[in-house]
Each structure stands twice: as structure tokens, then as C-alpha cells.
């Protein structure tokens, strides 16, 4: 059996994690896992963990560690025969330690994007709440302004994407991410990529992964059907 490959991608809001994750998944046939998707699926399915997560989200609070691990770790335990890339988890040191107890990561990608670039991207970012689809009015606008391409439902702009909230949001990310980054750096699996344009960062990530992912793993990975 080919060696499996497990990776995490980290970055502040607006860093392009979603776009790069999709490219990695397509290029290297990894199953892309999104913590946001897991949360939405569990809320829609009315699972115990989903109901609990919803109580925090409706109050504008972050979903706490014990709920996030309850949502994600069982799914990872079902994927022992699959290679994957995780986007959006871990977000705290406690989550990182819980993930370490479940599996051994091969690589962590950290995106380092200048504040001004993040500010510009987030001020142009609009979201379809039900699906989590993200649009950017500068380089990825919807076909019809203010409407989701697939459902036609209205798009919204999160209050914390607005400039006045951005500084605090990015400071919070930096504070929470530092111990996680230090942990993965100590394990020798952290790779940081800096820049202002996703298309310029991507070739370096692509080159790195081409040397890290066994070619056979690109053919033995299947998409996991979501409940």
C-alpha cells in the first residue's frame, strides 16, 4: 500500500487558503477537508455536535476546542486509508495537540500575507452563508452582483471582514497561530510562503509538494462522500 500523505494549510483570513487548497487537491488528488464545511454539514444534519456548534455561532462566538474536535476527529479516524489536506483546523494549540493524537502530519503550509493585502482582499469579500462560497469583487466576482452563482441567494459581508474589525481579527489570528506554528516548526514539518499574489505563491507550493507527495498516492485517493 502506498504511503499516505496528510497536510494542513494555515493562514489568516483573506490569505487565499481556500483557493490554494483547491489547487492542491486537484493537482495532487488529495481529499480536501474544510472545517467550515464540517460545521455546516453537522448543523444541517442536526447532529449533537452541530446543534452545540450552532449555539456558539448564533451568538457570534468561536466554536470552542472541545466542540471542534468532536466534529472533526471522528471523520479523520474514518479516513485511515486516504491522503488529505485540512483547511481551517487546527486553529488553537489545543486543537493541534488533539490532531497530533489522531494522526501524524507530513507537512504544514503557512501563508504569510502582508496586512495591506489582507485588508484589500477582505474589504472586497462577500459570502454565501448557507454554502460558505466566497466571492471577491476584485478577482472572483459573482455573475450577478450581490447574488450567489449557484443558488441565486443574496451574498453578505461579514462584520469582521469590514476594515474597522480587521485589525483585531488579524491580531487574534496571529496570537492563536503562533504556538501552533512553533509546534510544527519544532517538528520540522512547517513550510512558510510569503507574498501578495496567490498565483505567484502557488508555483513554490506546487514545487514543494511535488517533492513531498509520493506519486502513487495521487492515484489511490478517493473522494469521501459527505453525509
Q: Is 36 annotated as a binding residue?
A: no
Q: Is 198 annotated as a binding residue?
A: yes
Q: Which domain holds residue 197?
A: 6-211
Q: Give the CATH number of the domain where residue 83 resides.
A: 3.40.50.300
Q: How much of the chain exceeds pLDDT 70, in percent? A: 91
Q: Is 102 annotated as a binding residue?
A: no
Q: Is 135 annotated as a binding residue?
A: yes
- Mapping DSSP to helix (H, G, I), strand (E, B) and coil, where does residue 6 land? strand
Q: What's the pLDDT at 199?
A: 92
Q: What's the pLDDT at 119?
A: 84
Determine, yes or no, domain membership for 197.
yes
Q: Is 138 annotated as a binding residue?
A: no
- List, for the chain, all residue ranges whose pLDDT scores fall below the cut of 70: 1-2, 161, 163, 214-227
Determine, yes or no, domain membership for 13.
yes
- Mapping DSSP to helix (H, G, I), strand (E, B) and coil, where does residue 169 land? helix
Determine, yes or no, domain membership for 227.
no
Q: What's the pLDDT at 108?
A: 98
CA 182 to chain centre: 19
Q: Is 108 annotated as a binding residue?
A: no
Determine, yes or no, domain membership for 142.
yes
Q: Which of 136-142's residues contact partners 24+ apart within 8 Å by CB, and which partners?
A: none
Q: What's the pLDDT at 125?
A: 84
Q: Is 195 annotated as a binding residue?
A: no
Q: Is 114 annotated as a binding residue?
A: no
Determine, yes or no, domain membership for 195.
yes
Q: Is 145 annotated as a binding residue?
A: no
Distance CA 200, CA 202 (A): 6
Determine, yes or no, domain membership for 150.
yes
Measured between alpha carbons, how far is residue 52 from residues 49, 60, 122, 205, 209 in Å? 5, 13, 28, 36, 37
Looking at the structure of the chain, the number of domains it has is: 1
Q: What's the pLDDT at 7?
A: 97
Determine, yes or no, domain membership for 219.
no
Q: Is 14 annotated as a binding residue?
A: yes
Q: Is 134 annotated as a binding residue?
A: yes
Q: Is 21 annotated as a binding residue?
A: no
Determine, yes or no, domain membership for 157.
yes
Q: What's the pLDDT at 214?
A: 66
Q: Is 61 annotated as a binding residue?
A: yes
Q: Is 169 annotated as a binding residue?
A: yes
Q: Is 40 annotated as a binding residue?
A: yes
Q: Is 67 annotated as a binding residue?
A: no
Amino acid at each position: 500500500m502506498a504511503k499516505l500523505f496528510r497536510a494542513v494549510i494555515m493562514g489568516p483570513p483573506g490569505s487565499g487558503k481556500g483557493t490554494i487548497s483547491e489547487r492542491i487537491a486537484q493537482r495532487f488528488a488529495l481529499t480536501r477537508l474544510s472545517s467550515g464545511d464540517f460545521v455546516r454539514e453537522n448543523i444541517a444534519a442536526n447532529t449533537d455536535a452541530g446543534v452545540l456548534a450552532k449555539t456558539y455561532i448564533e451568538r457570534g462566538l468561536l466554536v470552542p476546542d472541545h466542540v471542534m474536535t468532536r466534529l472533526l476527529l471522528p471523520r479523520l479516524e474514518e479516513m485511515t486509508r486516504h491522503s488529505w489536506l485540512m483547511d481551517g483546523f487546527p486553529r488553537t494549540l489545543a486543537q493541534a495537540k488533539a490532531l497530533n493524537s489522531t494522526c501524524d502530519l507530513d507537512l504544514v503550509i503557512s501563508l504569510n500575507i502582508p496586512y495591506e493585502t489582507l485588508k484589500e482582499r477582505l474589504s472586497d469579500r462577500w459570502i454565501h452563508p448557507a454554502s460558505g462560497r466566497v466571492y471577491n469583487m476584485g478577482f472572483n466576482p459573482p455573475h450577478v452582483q450581490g447574488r450567489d452563482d449557484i443558488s441565486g441567494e443574496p451574498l453578505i459581508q461579514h462584520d469582521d471582514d469590514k476594515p474597522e474589525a480587521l485589525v483585531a481579527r488579524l491580531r487574534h489570528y496571529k496570537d492563536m497561530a503562533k504556538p501552533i506554528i512553533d509546534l510544527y516548526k519544532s517538528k520540522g514539518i512547517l513550510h512558510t510562503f510569503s507574498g501578495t499574489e496567490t498565483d505567484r505563491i502557488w508555483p513554490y507550493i506546487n514545487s514543494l509538494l511535488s517533492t513531498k507527495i509520493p506519486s502513487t498516492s495521487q492515484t489511490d485517493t478517493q473522494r469521501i462522500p459527505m453525509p
